[in-house]
Structures are given as structure tokens and as C-alpha cells.
Structure 1
């Protein structure tokens, strides 16, 4: 007997009502795209490999309407404890896209759709792409480059979903120039926690539009987005320069981000040991001679500035000449500057090279106790000292990125949170990206690393440094209130409006599912 999707959802709700709070195991009943599974590897594992929360069921929708129907039924069923998490590429760290005994929506099952609109010369407005929420950024890049176009703002790693990064912010070395990815989207299609399928923008339902951007999945599931595009350069001059003085390193980074008419990308990283240099040098084998400098000095750390200048056919300016002019204004260690020329695609896809290298060694699918922070300019030196007090530079396994972004390039009305640091415009991104190889780091070792991260967060978010977590993970409501600060009350209001039963994104741990009191006593 054939059941409609609506009938299958009705059956699910009935089962949940009868059996809750019992836990489901393998069910012989086939619910079409909604399946009960005893083992759900993709839905209970993420990139962090720290939390493993198995859902009750997995939905692999064929259209946004199916997501809408599911959430409509759940939002009208206050007797149920079921929650729902949307999962894109699963690149979260602390189980943010998981739903323990809930339902995970695997967004990659939506039919992929990428439609490029190149603006004509006589047409007002901008070029853009309409993209379904489960599409990966690398897929959008490949398709847009066919028309000589590309999005303006990126993440370092392109194999993440459109909806996933827009639910956070989406940052990389272009953020100082164009703002985060959430600043470069015109329109969204969103399914709210009530099951409403809404098209929203800065002009149409702006309350939903801005609150979903950076909203950690709390207010709706992004099923499609209209992304701003610009003409793509054909290649990139990619430069790295080394420093042995942190103050000079940050001063030069801040100089670079002030040159947004010349510089197209700015990042940087700490060089703690030989391994960290090897791990970041796939495209720069020529500078491996710098290892001798590492052995010759007793410095706790060195630093590397990374910047890029685009080659653009339409401009007469020569990228090599621009780089030479910029380099004259920097104060890096004499002779320690290196450059390569790469295609635009290869530059944006640079982390993929490192991924393939790690996969070949069996070091990609391992726990990743990462920590990402936004640090005010006034606290960056103290934060650097805090890191070095808590880690062992000689044995540290991973990368620590440090680079500046500018507050005035961020829309203040999105849900994304930056440090509340008064008039300071410069904010640093500091990402401690380390791996825990199970062959050398036991479960006890991983626990120590996570405790270490927690100590750093507790100190850094205090009044002396005033940092905020990016991709935040907190266990108490008080911590979430402090994290959102002045945006907390607005988030509460939007949550009450768009997801009043707190169905969405349980893995974030911000809100508890609302359901009838009589069920709690059973």
C-alpha cells in the first residue's frame, strides 16, 4: 500500500506520541524518505568526531516542501519531544548538526540547483547565483567560473554547504574586504520551526532574513540562497612573509587590511615547530629553508603573514608590481618572503591539497578539538600569551591561524556575534586547528585537550580580553546569554516567533524542547 508523504508523517507523529519517551530501534516500517535507522553513521558523526548523538530518524527530502510538512506536523504536536537538525556537509565540531533521538535532515538529498545570473552591462543591480542550501561552495565556484564569475567572500575550506556557513557567518582572508559570507547574500528561502516556507530578504520579511543569517540554525532551515557574484580573476599572486616579532606581525597585518584597493586576501599563522611549517607548505616548497632558521633561534614562535593580489585582465595594473610595492612597506625578517602564482580556483581550493595529504596518511577522519575565537585588537597580544601558556609549542600538532577582520564590514543586524569592544574596528580571528590522532592521543588525551580549550575560553571571554567564540559551543544558558550579549533578547523574541517549541538545532544546546507538562511526569 502506497502512503503519501503527509500520511507517513502522520504515522510518525502517532508512533512518537504512543512510544515517547521510549527509544526507537530498528523499525521494519518504510516511511519513504523518512527512515528509522538503528545505525546512522553520517547523521551521528561530524568533522569534530567528539560528539556522537544518534537520531531517531533521518529525513532525506526531495524538496523544501517535505521539510515544511515535517516541521508543520511537529510544531502542531506539543506532546512530542522530537527535535530536528539540518545537516549539510557535517563540518561542525561539537555535534551542532546532530539530534539525539530526534530527526536529522540531510540537506544534500535536495536536488542540487545552481542558476547563474550574469548582469548585462545595461542592466541595473548585480550578478548573482540562486543555489540550493545543500550545495557545496566548491560546486558553486566551479559552476560560476564557467561564466567568469565567483562569490566575493569565502571560507578557507570549500567543501561545506551553502546553508551551513550562512547559519554561522562564513569567514576567510577576504572578510576584511567584503565582510563575511552572510553579508554577501541577497535572498533566502527558509523553512521556519513552524513549518512555514518563506522567501525573505532585506526588503521582504527582513526580521527573518537577518536573524537566520548567523542564527546557528535556531530559527529556520535554509533551503536556498541568492549569492552575490563578481567578475573572477584568472590567477593570483600568493605571498608569505615571516616574522619573529608578534607586534610587528600584527602591525603589518593591520597595514595590509587598510589597503583594500590593492590587497585581495589577508591571513596569517603561527609557526610553532617544524611540523606546523611542513603542514602549511604544500604550495610553498621553496621556503622550507626557513627550517634552518627555526633550529638556529630559541624563539617560542615565529609568525607568517599571508596575502594575495588578484590578476585581473580588465585592469592594466601588474600584480607583480603591486606585490613589490606592498612588500616595501612591510617589516618582515630580511629575505624571508616567498611567492607563487596559481590559478584562482587552486588558490581558493588550497586546503583541499592538505586534506588529500592527510587522508593519504589516515589523519583526516580523526577527532578535531578545534577552537575559533574573535579577539579584540586590544586583547590580541594577551590572547597570544594565553595560548602559549596552555600549549607546548614544540609538540603542538596542527595550525594556529591569526588574521584581522574589520567590524564595519559586518552587518550589525544579523544574529552573528562579534566582541563588544567599544570603538575598536579591528578584530582578530584566531583559530586553533589541531588534530588528535588516535594512535598517539588516547581518549584521556582528547579530554585533556578539550579541558584546555575550555580554560582558554573562560579566560579569553572575561573582561580583560573580551573575546567571543566563533562556531560557539556552550553548555549553560548563562554562557549563551553572555555570548550573545546585547543580541540575546532579540534572539529570544525571534525564537518565540519562528520556532516557539524549540524544535530546531538541538545540538547547539541553546534551548530545550518545549512539550506538554503531562509527558514530563511519565
Structure 2
């Protein structure tokens, strides 16, 4: 046992010393001796955004949370260098958030996969069903395993090929958020390696400050190695409905009505229909024929439409008529005459709907391209003004991508996590999420990013909007982003990662170091 621990320490030391060598290495505690794998560091410098390409000096592929703990303990105890560490999940970041320039990237998918489902039995009272899942596992993997027992998580992201730890470090939102809150509101317990290398189990009642800090904490306080996710009974089928609008006010009014019906409606999203591409591209995963042929006007005078999606779960229970529920809900909506469509799909296919769109984009060569995305939380009072601000910067005739827009309910979000929401009057329960999900050519990406920066700053000043999955150009801008919550965020950083080792790609805190000798 002592010999194995010594070998691991030597191995980590080799990794650290390699940072000053002219070569790049991948090093794991299971690999004795450095391996010259240039491809590993190349992959670690790449993400879905394809905007930033910060190459690390080393890549760690841990075999256990203890390996991560050892590395961070070593770095935290020695302030001999500028070495920083980033945890990389599925690589779906957009602005290099999981990159570590000249530092170490930890590939979380190398952790042994672990998904343990705990199903509540009849007669167990208030006990909850839950899943214990490793931080590097994908949500699609958890869905497949939990469905085998008729269970599923309550809250999702639209795209399921993301890691558990990655989305919990940000928030995790989709059309179920209005009903169940974001994914970070559906976590019972976490296992976390802090920036000091401490392996800690935390929950709402144990090590509470760390638990709240890590949820939505952008990777600044610790690396999630395991999560306990709340589960519920899974429906067998979903009635999926789309309705179209030509008036923005009516569109938002109906969305807000739908999210006020959580006893009837299980999912609500919406998007802007700018052109034929946005109409048909978003219809790939909706396998019903839609006889909707809108007039988009001319380039000089474009006409814009809007689409609401909502869904009702079908548990196949006697006495429940899903068709009647959809009819009753639809009757209260004010969509364009005859412009409503529905389809029945399996629960799995509904949740995995974006996978079909991914396959289509891959076939068209639009997946492995730059994605200069912008995601904003917008107060209800400013959503029309924000929409107008956004549309002033977009040409509908050549926009490639999707613009999501749908309401969330503020009281479904915990107030002690690290997520930043827009300020709003206490009575203003609704806020909106707007996602500008673009595909771009390498030549245009930086211009688009600059445009998004101007939109985000203007929206912050005009309506108090806040970025989700934020990217700020400087620590000063980050302080402005957090506003009155900055002091708590900074205090948590000093407590759990005082040397500012973690998540350098976020650009929030510079690495703190002094020149000392390396402890052995």
C-alpha cells in the first residue's frame, strides 16, 4: 500500500516536472512513465465552440477521485509554479471554459463509469428514489439505466450527451425547468474534490456551503466526482405539441399561461422562426407533418414567426386522458388559426430529440464548426426590449441556427447556489431564457462574438439581463456580472480554492503563486 502511494506521488511529480519540458505529455497515475501523446493535448484544447484553443501542458486521465485529490493536494501544497487545472467533461463548452493554457486538463470520462439506481419501494414512506452517478457520466447514460426501472431524473438539458458534473457546474436547464427547477435544484448530495485536494461529501445538511458553492459554481470551488440525482416515475409516452404565432406579445402571453399550469403541462419551450432553415431545421426531431408554409417577406422587409412547444406526459394510467388535457390546454391558447400540430413519441425519443438534429447537422458539415452561442437570462419586464435589441443585429435571410426563448420561474431556483439571475421585483415570478445558438464559419466567428458581447452589455444596462454559461473578458467584468453576489463568490473561492488553481478558462480569478521549492 505504501509502495503504491509512493509510486503515485512520483508519477504526479513526473507530470509536474514535465510542464517545464519542451514536450507535451499525457500522464495518469496508472501510466508509469510519460507518454508522448500530442493528440491528447490537442483534444483538450478543443471544445464545441471552436473559438478558443488553449493547449495544456499535460492531460490527466484519473482512475479514481483519489487520483484527482492527489494532484490537487500536491499543487495546493506547493506554490512553486503557475500550474492550473481544468476538469473536462464532454467538451461542450463554447468559450474555452474547460481549457487550461499551459496547465493540466483532467479528462473526467476516464473515471470508471458508475450509475447506481435506488428505487423507493412501496411502504417506504417519504423516501425518495435517486441515482448515484459518477461526475463524468453522461445524462443519456443515466436516462438509459434509470428507465430500466421505470424512473428518470426530473430536470434535463435539451442535449443529453453532456456530463453530470459539467451541467451541475453551470445550472442545467430545459423545458422542464419551470416545473421542477434546473438540474442543480434536483441534487441530493455531491462528492467533490476541492481546490485544496480535499475529497468531501456535501449536501443541503452536510458541508452545506461547499454544496451550494459548487452548484452553478463554474468549476471554481471543486470538481464534482459523484452526484446523487433525484428520480421520479418516468412516463411511457409524451404528447408533443407545436403552435405557431405571428405576434410576439401573444406568443409570450401564451407561454406564461402554460408555465402557470404545472399540474397539466410538463414541458414548455419556444423559438423564433426566422427563415426556412430555422423552420425545417428545428422540425427534424418533430416527426409529424406540418403543413405550415409561412411568408417570410423580403430581405428589406422580413416577417418573423414564433413557435411554442409544450408537452404532456402519458403515464398510461386509467382515468387519465392525455388527448383531452392537450385539447383543454390548446383551447386557451391564441395561436394562428389552424397552426397547431401534435405527435405522440416515446419518452426516451422526446428527451433525446436533439440527437436527431445533431445527426442532420453532422451530415451537412455544420456540427464541427464554430458555435458562437449567446445565452441570457432576461427579466419578464424586459423581454420585448431584449427581443428588439437582438433582432436589430440579425439578418433573418442568412442566420444559421436557432433562437430559443421560453419562460422560467424564479422561485424554482435556490438562492444560495452560485448561479446569477437577473434582479427583479419580488412579485415578478417569471423570467426568460434566450439562447442564440448559431453555427458560423471560422472567418466570421470573431465578429459574431463581438456582436454578442455588445448585445450582452447593452441588455445588462437596459433591462438587467444576465448571461448564462457566461464568458467575460476580464475579472472586472466578472465582478460586474456577479454584482452584489460577488463578495460571497470571492469568499467561497478563498475558502475552497485559495490558490486559484481550478477552472482558469473561466478567467475569473488569476492564479495565486509564489516561488518556492517543490515539496517531496
* TM-score normalised over the length of structure 1: 0.94
Partner of 1:481 in structure 2? 479
Whether 1:415 aligns to 2:413 is: no
Whether 1:102 aligns to 2:103 is: yes
What are the Cα deviations for residues 73-104 of structure 1, in whole angstroms up to 9, with x where unaligned? Answer: 00011111100000000110000000000000
CA contact (8 A) 2:374 2:436 kept: yes
Match of 1:498 among 484, 496, 499: 496
Match of 1:364 among 358, 363, 367: 367
Q: Whole-Å Cα distance in 1 between the matches of residues 26 and 152 of structure 2? A: 46
Matches within 5 A, 1:200-279: 200-279=202-281
What's the offset of the Cα at 1:364? 0.7
Matches within 5 A, 1:99-498: 99-123=100-124, 124-284=126-286, 286-294=288-296, 300-314=303-317, 316-423=319-426, 424-436=428-440, 441-443=441-443, 445-462=444-461, 464-498=462-496
Q: Whole-Å Cα distance in 1 between the matches of residues 502 and 211 of structure 2? A: 16
What's the offset of the Cα at 1:425? 1.2
Q: Relative to structure 2, which stretch is displaced further, 59-68 or 358-367?
A: 358-367
CA contact (8 A) 1:149 1:232 kept: yes
Whether 1:56 aligns to 2:57 is: yes
Q: Whole-Å Cα distance in 2 between the matches of residues 29 and 299 of structure 1? A: 55
What are the Cα deviations for residues 9-52 of structure 1, in whole angstroms up to 9, with x where unaligned? Answer: 13334555xx4xxx642469997457564442321100001111
Q: Whole-Å Cα distance in 1 between the matches of residues 356 and 419 of structure 2? A: 30
Q: Relative to structure 2, which stretch is displaced further, 246-255 or 38-47?
A: 38-47
CA contact (8 A) 2:12 2:71 kept: yes
What's the offset of the Cα at 1:409? 0.5
What's the offset of the Cα at 1:120? 1.1
Q: Whole-Å Cα distance in 2 between the matches of residues 270 and 12 of structure 1? A: 49
5+ residue gaps, structure 2, are none
What's the offset of the Cα at 1:293? 4.1
- The ranges of structure 1 where at least 4 consecutive aligned residues each deviate by more than 6 angstroms after the TM superposition are 28-31
State the SS of the aligned residue for 2:292. Answer: helix
What's the offset of the Cα at 1:422? 2.4
What are the Cα deviations for residues 388-408 of structure 1, in whole angstroms up to 9, with x where unaligned? Answer: 100101211110000000000
What are the Cα deviations for residues 192-219 of structure 1, in whole angstroms up to 9, with x where unaligned? Answer: 0000000000111000001100000000
Q: Whole-Å Cα distance in 2 between the matches of residues 191 and 296 of structure 1? A: 55
Are residues 28 and 498 of structure 1, via their aligned partners in 2, closer, same or farther at CA, if it must alter by over 3 Å? closer
Whether 1:73 aligns to 2:74 is: yes
Q: Whole-Å Cα distance in 1 between the matches of residues 454 and 378 of structure 2? A: 16
Q: Whole-Å Cα distance in 1 between the matches of residues 93 and 192 of structure 2? A: 20
State the SS of the aligned residue for 1:104. Answer: strand
CA contact (8 A) 2:79 2:516 kept: no
What are the Cα deviations for residues 224-266 of structure 1, in whole angstroms up to 9, with x where unaligned? Answer: 0000000000000000000000000000000000000000000
What's the offset of the Cα at 1:299? 5.3
Cα RMSD after superposing both structures: 2.0
Q: Relative to structure 2, which stretch is displaced further, 417-426 or 265-274?
A: 417-426
What's the offset of the Cα at 1:121? 1.6
* TM-score normalised over the length of structure 2: 0.94
Q: Whole-Å Cα distance in 1 between the matches of residues 36 and 81 of structure 2? A: 16
Q: Whole-Å Cα distance in 1 between the matches of residues 287 and 129 of structure 2? A: 38
